[in-house]
Amino acid sequence: MEIFDLDESMEIEVVIKNYRCFPDSEPARLILAKGFTALVGVNNSGKSSLLRFFYELRLLFEASGKDPATLVAALQLNPRGLRLPDSVSDANEIFNNRNTRNLEINLRLLGDVATADPGGATELHFTLKRDTHQWIADIPRLYSAAETRSLSVDPQGNLKTPQRRIVNLRLIQEVCRQLSDVLYIGPFRNAINVGGDSNYYDIKVGQPFIAEWKTLKTGPIIEKNVAILKLTDGIRRIFECEQLEIDASSDEKNLKVFVNNKSFRLTELGAGLSQFILVLANAAIRRPEMILIDEPELNLHPSLQIDFLTTLASYCRGGVVFATHSIGLARAAASRIYSLRRLEEGKSELRDFEGTPNLAEFVGELGFSGYHELGYDRILLVEGPTDVTTFQQFLRMFQKDHKVVILPLGGNSLINASVGPQLSELHRISTKITAVIDSEKRNAADPLSASREGFVEACRSAFIECKVLARRATENYLTERAVKAALGESHRALSEFETLGSVTPSWSKNENWRIAREMRKEDLDGTDLGPILDSL
10 Å CB burial of residue 428 (0-12, 13-18, 19+) is: exposed
Q: Report percent pLDDT > 70 for the chain.
A: 92
- Residue 373: pLDDT band (50, 70, 90) is low
DSSP class of 19: B
Preceding omega of 447 cis (within 30 degrees of 0): no
The amino acid occupying position 147 is E
DSSP class of 266: G
> Which residue, 169, 181, 190, 165, is CA-closest to 75?
169
Three-state SS at 332: helix
The amino acid occupying position 68 is P
Between residues 195 and 363, the one the model is more confident about: 363
Task: Please answer whether residues 388 and 382 qualify as being in contact, where contact means their C-beta atoms are separated by less than 8 angstroms.
Answer: yes
Task: Using the predicted structure, report yes or no on whether residue 376 has a pLDDT greater than 90.
Answer: no
Task: Please answer whether residues 248 and 233 qualify as being in contact, where contact means their C-beta atoms are separated by less than 8 angstroms.
Answer: no
**Domain locations in the chain?**
11-181, 184-351, 355-535
Q: What pLDDT does residue 189 have?
A: 63
Task: Please answer whether residues 55 and 182 qualify as being in contact, where contact means their C-beta atoms are separated by less than 8 angstroms.
Answer: yes
Task: Using the predicted structure, report yes or no on whether residue 5 has a pLDDT greater than 60.
Answer: no
Q: What is the average pLDDT value for the chain, to the nearest integer?
A: 89
Q: What pLDDT does residue 6 have?
A: 47
Task: Please answer whether residues 106 and 28 qualify as being in contact, where contact means their C-beta atoms are separated by less than 8 angstroms.
Answer: no
Task: Using the predicted structure, report yes or no on whether residue 29 has a pLDDT greater than 60.
Answer: yes
Between residues 16 and 211, the one the model is more confident about: 16
Task: Please answer whether residues 506 and 9 qualify as being in contact, where contact means their C-beta atoms are separated by less than 8 angstroms.
Answer: yes
Between residues 366 and 218, the one the model is more confident about: 218
10 Å CB burial of residue 402 (0-12, 13-18, 19+) is: buried
Q: What pLDDT does residue 514 have?
A: 94
* 31-44 exposure pattern, b = at least 16 Cβ within 10 A, e = fewer: ebbbbbbbbbbeee
- Residue 117: pLDDT band (50, 70, 90) is low
Interior angle at CA 239, CA 237 and CA 244, nearest 5: 70
Task: Using the predicted structure, report yes or no on whether residue 266 has a pLDDT greater than 70.
Answer: yes
Q: How far apart are CA 113 and CA 7, in angstroms?
A: 6
Q: Quick one: average pLDDT of 495-523?
A: 94
Provide the 10 A C-beta neighbour count for residue 433.
Answer: 22
Q: What pLDDT does residue 370 have?
A: 62
Q: What pLDDT does residue 368 have?
A: 63
Identify the helix (H) or strand (E) that includes residue 369.
Answer: helix 368-373
Provide DSSP, 81-140. EPP--TT-S-GGGGB-TT--PPEEEEEEEESHHHHH-TTB--EEEEEE-TTT-EEEEE-T
Task: Using the predicted structure, report yes or no on whether residue 7 has a pLDDT greater than 60.
Answer: no
Residues 6+ apart with CB under 8 A from 79: 129, 132, 134, 135, 136
- Going through 235-296 in order, the beta strands assigned E by DSSP cover 244-248, 255-259, 262-265, 290-294
Identify the helix (H) or strand (E) that includes residue 487.
Answer: helix 480-487
Q: How far apart are CA 133 and CA 112, in angstroms?
A: 36
Q: How far apart are CA 495 and CA 438, in angstroms?
A: 15
Q: How far apart are CA 413 and CA 331, in angstroms?
A: 14
Task: Using the predicted structure, report yes or no on whether residue 523 has a pLDDT greater than 80.
Answer: yes
Tell me, letter by letter, the H, E, C secondary structure of 404-461. Answer: EEEEECCHHHCCCHHHHHHHHHHCCCCCCEEEEECCCCCCCCCCCCHHHHHHHHHHHH
The amino acid occupying position 450 is A
Q: What pLDDT does residue 328 have?
A: 81
Q: What pLDDT does residue 208 have?
A: 84
3-state helix vs strand vs coil in the chain, percent to 5: 40, 20, 40
Q: How far apart are CA 275 and CA 237, in angstroms?
A: 15
Q: How far apart are CA 446 and CA 440, in angstroms?
A: 9
pLDDT in tens, 294-352: 999 888 888 788 889 999 999 998 899 999 988 888 888 898 999 899 999 999 999 99
Three-state SS at 197: coil
Provide DSSP, 24-87. TTS-EEEEEESEEEEEE--TTSSHHHHHHHHHHTHHHHHHHHH-HHHHHHHHTT--EEPP--TT
pLDDT in tens, 218-237: 999 999 899 899 899 988 88
- Residue 425: pLDDT band (50, 70, 90) is confident
Q: What pLDDT does residue 4 have?
A: 42
- Residue 94: pLDDT band (50, 70, 90) is very high
Three-state SS at 362: helix
Pairing, β 11-17 against β 28-33: antiparallel
Between residues 340 and 206, the one the model is more confident about: 340
Task: Using the predicted structure, report yes or no on whether residue 240 has a pLDDT greater than 90.
Answer: no
Task: Using the predicted structure, report yes or no on whether residue 461 has a pLDDT greater than 50.
Answer: yes
Q: Quick one: average pLDDT of 496-505?
A: 93
Task: Using the predicted structure, report yes or no on whether residue 355 has a pLDDT greater than 80.
Answer: no
CATH class of 184-351: alpha beta
Tally DSSP H helices, then E strands, for the chain.
19, 22
